[in-house]
Amino acid sequence: MLKMADYASDALVSDIIGVVKGIVAKSGLALPNSDERNRIVRQFCELSPASSTVALGDIVNAGWTVRLDWKLWSKFNFTDRARLDILNDLVFKTMEVMEFETKTNAVANAK
């Protein structure tokens, strides 16, 4: 029975991945991009939120990149708690900047 359940779940996973790919393709959502992630990481390494971002995934991935490699911030002498607080602030501020730019661009394009 366990083998049958494994086969069934494997088949479902493939189907779900196909459905999600179709939905994403139709939605026009920007997919994460490693070059964009790296650009945002460089901004975070300067303790600056990024601007001109297009995908939330790039922001989240940049945050994880820094979080998983604190050596990127070796020039700073932050405590563990301060590092996390600062990184969280940078990630959320970058999302806010993205939201602001998206809304202002929409208004400008509507004119």
At 11-48, the pLDDT tens digits run 899 889 999 989 988 998 888 999 999 999 999 999 99
Enumerate the H helices of the chain as residue ranges. 2-27, 34-45, 56-68, 80-110
Report the pLDDT value the prediction gives residue 19, as an integer from 0 to 100. Answer: 92
Give the confidence band of 77 by pLDDT, cuts at 50, 70, 90. very high
What is the mean predicted confidence (pLDDT) over 102-109? 88
pLDDT tops 90 at residue 81: yes
Which two structure tokens, joined as six digits, stand for 86?
């600062």
**Domain locations in the chain as residue ranges:** 1-29, 31-110
> What does the pLDDT read at residue 68?
98
Q: How many CA atoms lie within 13 A of 40 on its CB side?
A: 33
Judged against a pLDDT cut of 80, whether residue 101 lies above it is answered with yes
Secondary structure (3-state) at 71? helix
